[in-house]
Structure 1
Amino acid sequence: MRTSSTIRTRRTVKRGSRTAAVLAAGALALSLTACSGDDDNGGGGDKGDQGGASKQPASSVTLPKLDGETLEVAAVWTGTEQENFKKVLAEFEKRTGAKVTFVPAQDPIINFLGSKIAGGAPPDVAMLPQPGAIKQAVDKGWAKPLGAEATKELGENYSQGWQDIGKVGGKQYGVYYKAANKSLIWYNAQVFENAGASEPKTWDELLDAAQMVYDSGVTPFSVGGADGWTLTDWFENVYLSQAGPEKYDQLAQHKIKWTDPSVKEALTTLAQVWGKKDFVAGGASGALQTEFPASVTQTFTGGDQPKAGMVYEGDFVQVNIGETEAKVGTDAKVFPFPAVGDTAPVVSGGDAAVVFKDSKAAQALATWLASPDAAAIQAKLGGFLSPNKSVDASAYPNDVQKKIAEALVAAGDDFRFDMSDQAPQAFGGTPGKGEWKTLQDFLKNPKDVAGAQAKLEADAAAAYGG
């Protein structure tokens, strides 16, 4: 499952703004510190109030009557994430009279859509997790520009940066319905307490905390290496903080090669965790068989003797914590990804609604997904973050989630977008290929920095066209 991402600034927004990154990172750190430990709710939100859709206030968004219309929405979401999104679709059905069917898609979704289109049955709307996938859909003539109402709703509720990453050739194609803060490390509070470890602010402090956890008898890190995207996220946080935003933008556009010394430095730094004996649960072979959801649940199952003390990933980790007995803010706590270089990284990703059938119903659904009402429904259910600045923070189910959401909105245009999501999907978003595969191989053999660089560059050159 490719789930949305960490707060990183997209290459088209305030390129090279180190000051912006510092401010955004500082806001995130302050917000998480302010809410640490005072939350009573689990990651799934208020489990006694999951009905959701019908309890939302009357909407200001104008939706047409669509009695008798049918739509299909495709996304790679599964489990709780899919069920919560279906509540948002149910409210759209209630307000318009349309019937919406959720179509489970496979990664990479662009390939799934290609097969559906070849068979003459494209979905009306698809949720695309990469700007690169949006561009591919536009280049192939599949995606349709947003209509006037959807564009108007988007303009009222989103910062310019979030609008821009949904544009191709100056036209608006994507509504970033869901965002992710991917610069977070979640930890088992009891494990840290037993080890005498505190929340680190720098990479060296992270390594020290990890050693303390190890010395207490618990493996420090859980890594969901079976899902290659988790490994690209690790790399991107280290690279952004260490190399800086200017280099990050250049690498994201393949204006510098993956054989650049800055990539060598980042991989060497990653190897301090991935290559450290007994620092990763199950070792490399175990991590490569561990999918992302299990990497979370094994960190918060087993009381103070879990399989690992920490797990890196975005705010959406809360959905999986909600499947355990741990409670966010008490048993499960979080700190910003530590500074590897001068400043802590701030990276984001997201899922954009893109129209594939230019119909009144499809455009209405895009308009709905750009509204604060739609986002508030899923926000209340937990494990979800919206870049929609008109969503009231009170919609989120716990203090941790509220503060993460407030930090995202406060960052405005000052974020870096997930690098692999900006790349052509063949390089940055395909299981078993490109960056995902090479970083999985690097997890297995972290000593082969030069080999990993050479393979990354060869695959990037092919995907970017030289």
Structure 2
Amino acid sequence: MRRHGTSRTTLTWTALAAAAALTLGACGDGGTKEPQGPEGSTAAPRVQLPKLPGEKLEVAAVWTGPEQENFTKVLKEFEKRTGATVTFVPAQDPIVTFLGTKIAGGAPPDVALLPQVGALAAAVQNKWVQPLGPEAAAQLDANYSKGWRTLGAVGGTQYGVYYKAANKSLIWYNAKAFEAAGVKPPKTWKELITAADTLSASGTPAVSVAGADGWTLTDWFENIYLSQAGPEKYDQLAKHQIKWTDDSVKQALTTLGELFGRKDFLAGGQSGALATEFPKSVTQTFTGGDRPAAAMVFEGDFVAVNIAQTQAKVGEDALVFPFPAVGGKAPVVSGGDVAVALKPSKGAQALLTFLASPDAAEIHARQGGFVSPNKAVDPAAYPNAIQRDIAKALIAAGDDFRFDMSDQAPAAFGGTPGAGEWKALQDFLANPSDVAGTQAKLEADAAKAYGH
């Protein structure tokens, strides 16, 4: 999956109690609801869709691999109910550039899923997207909290449906590797570093870092920064009201360097991490029995999709704990992809209506590695207790959240491969001792992207 979603969201501390349920207690599989109807849909559809025989639609998103395959099952159900034909169009990062090219060529997709707040704002500013129709808006009003509805609006007009969310403050671990080293899930950053030392001394590198994908590095930084600097500073940095040369950024990078600076802590060392893409970072953590390439991997609930590509079982071989507290409170970061219509067609609005319904989300939820902000989704749709608890924590947060800072930033800084924050943090991973140089580069790139 692509990072940020996912447009990541930072949930406030009230969600922590729910998030804490993701620890050792949430290991079982119990209570999975059996699918009913085609592709695991419910037997009685809860949303009525128009008949669209012969209509052809295109849907663009940056999803690949299992994530794309699972979403295709949702689209297949839409086809069955409406008679339309839907084609998935793989998009590249940054998606605004991809869509701009399509629109300039006169061939925009009907619907796109945007993984950044900045992308939605840019699409509205460019007059690419259509407001939600009454049927889609009715589903949104019925199934989503005000906070999630607001996130899909620009200037008071509703444009988008947050179809997919993610809890981005999770560390997944190989149960056998932890057991072999005698390590327990850490609750603080200091305990994490101690555990990493013990794991590495036992012969298993502590962490698999997907350094080839810069978005994962922004997630590392943001979790540390939120916990260490606190929400006020976090909001200020997200808006570039304070500079990246601020002492709080120095502290966060120095803390991150405690992990990234230890070659023995990282699978393949710094150079190996920089050559590792996200899917491999997960699969190499859950293959090799009790001697995997690494004992832990950091990222969101969508990690479960990639674990499914191995022989490991979520809840048994693959367990999870919340991102450890660096400061007084552990961070809770989430995100989401917002679906928007790029064409004023009946089919595009019908698909948005479907994506705003629990029917679509439950089909996707049964596949694993997916969390919906739709509060009408039956928790039993999630395939195991771990994913159910992740979903419950998201819903329990209600309207108390703020968006991830890199997703609030202009795409040139916070969402472009090989540029801005992604590239600066990759350079930092290569040389974690250069905190001042990293700060200077981050500030120069941010000032240029924000226009000041």
Q: TM-score, normalization: structure 1?
A: 0.93
- Secondary structure of the residue that 1:436 maps to in structure 2? helix
Instruction: Assess if the C-alpha contact under 8 Å between 2:9 and 2:335 holds in 1.
Output: no
- Secondary structure of the residue that 1:456 maps to in structure 2? helix
Over aligned residues, Cα RMSD in angstroms? 1.9
- Secondary structure of the residue that 1:100 maps to in structure 2? strand
- Residue 406 of structure 2 aligns with an amino acid whose one-letter code is S
Give the aligned partner of residue 392 of structure 1.
378
Q: Find 1:63's aligned residue among 43, 49, 57.
A: 49
The change in CA–CA distance for 1:9 and 1:82 in structure 2 (over 3 A counts) is: closer
C-alpha displacement of 1:33: 4.0
Q: Identical aligned pairs, as a percentage?
A: 69
Give the aligned partner of residue 23 of structure 1.
14
Give the aligned partner of residue 226 of structure 2.
240
Instruction: Assess if the C-alpha contact under 8 Å between 1:181 and 1:347 holds in 2.
Output: yes
Deviation by residue 1:322-381 (Cα, 9 ceiling, x = unmatched)? 111111111110000000011000101111101100111111111110000000000001
- Say whether residues 1:35 and 2:20 are aligned partners: no
C-alpha displacement of 1:156: 1.0
Q: Find 2:334's aligned residue among 334, 344, 348.
A: 348
- Secondary structure of the residue that 2:304 maps to in structure 1? helix
Give the aligned partner of residue 199 of structure 2.
213
- Residue 58 of structure 1 aligns with an amino acid whose one-letter code is A
Give the aligned partner of residue 145 of structure 1.
131
Instruction: Assess if the C-alpha contact under 8 Å between 1:126 and 1:356 holds in 2.
Output: yes
C-alpha displacement of 1:50: 11
Q: Distance in 2 between matches of 1:30 and 1:188?
A: 18
Q: Distance in 2 between matches of 1:55 and 1:428?
A: 36
Q: Distance in 2 between matches of 1:55 and 1:173?
A: 26
C-alpha displacement of 1:173: 1.3
C-alpha displacement of 1:224: 0.4
- Say whether residues 1:371 and 2:361 are aligned partners: no
Deviation by residue 1:374-412 (Cα, 9 ceiling, x = unmatched)? 000000011111111100100001111111111111111
C-alpha displacement of 1:171: 1.2
C-alpha displacement of 1:253: 1.2
Deviation by residue 1:162-218 (Cα, 9 ceiling, x = unmatched)? 111111111111111000100000001011111111111111111111111112111
Instruction: Assess if the C-alpha contact under 8 Å between 1:284 and 1:444 holds in 2.
Output: yes
Q: Runs (4+) of structure 1 moved beyond 6 Å? A: 48-51
Instruction: Assess if the C-alpha contact under 8 Å between 1:9 and 1:348 holds in 2.
Output: yes
The change in CA–CA distance for 1:52 and 1:192 in structure 2 (over 3 A counts) is: farther
Q: Find 1:224's aligned residue among 178, 197, 210.
A: 210
Instruction: Assess if the C-alpha contact under 8 Å between 2:5 and 2:116 holds in 1.
Output: no
- Say whether residues 1:412 and 2:398 are aligned partners: yes
Give the aligned partner of residue 125 of structure 1.
111
Instruction: Assess if the C-alpha contact under 8 Å between 1:73 and 1:123 holds in 2.
Output: yes
Q: Distance in 1 between matches of 2:318 and 2:441?
A: 37
- Secondary structure of the residue that 1:34 maps to in structure 2? coil
C-alpha displacement of 1:423: 1.1
Q: TM-score, normalization: structure 2?
A: 0.96
Q: Distance in 1 between matches of 2:35 and 2:93?
A: 32
Instruction: Assess if the C-alpha contact under 8 Å between 2:205 and 2:295 holds in 1.
Output: yes
Give the aligned partner of residue 422 of structure 1.
408
Give the aligned partner of residue 387 of structure 2.
401
Q: Distance in 2 between matches of 1:312 and 1:55?
A: 31
Q: Which runs of 5+ in 2 are unaligned?
A: none
Give the aligned partner of residue 300 of structure 1.
286
Q: Find 1:135's aligned residue among 110, 117, 121.
A: 121
Q: Distance in 2 between matches of 1:50 and 1:193?
A: 38
> Which deviates more, 211-220 or 407-416?
407-416
- Residue 416 of structure 2 aligns with an amino acid whose one-letter code is T
Q: Distance in 1 between matches of 2:167 and 2:6?
A: 4
Give the aligned partner of residue 88 of structure 1.
74
C-alpha displacement of 1:61: 1.5
- Secondary structure of the residue that 1:53 maps to in structure 2? helix
- Residue 74 of structure 1 aligns with an amino acid whose one-letter code is A
- Say whether residues 1:332 and 2:318 are aligned partners: yes
The change in CA–CA distance for 1:385 and 1:342 in structure 2 (over 3 A counts) is: same
Give the aligned partner of residue 16 of structure 1.
none
Instruction: Assess if the C-alpha contact under 8 Å between 2:8 and 2:166 holds in 1.
Output: no
The change in CA–CA distance for 1:137 and 1:441 in structure 2 (over 3 A counts) is: same
Deviation by residue 1:257-276 (Cα, 9 ceiling, x = unmatched)? 11111111100000000012
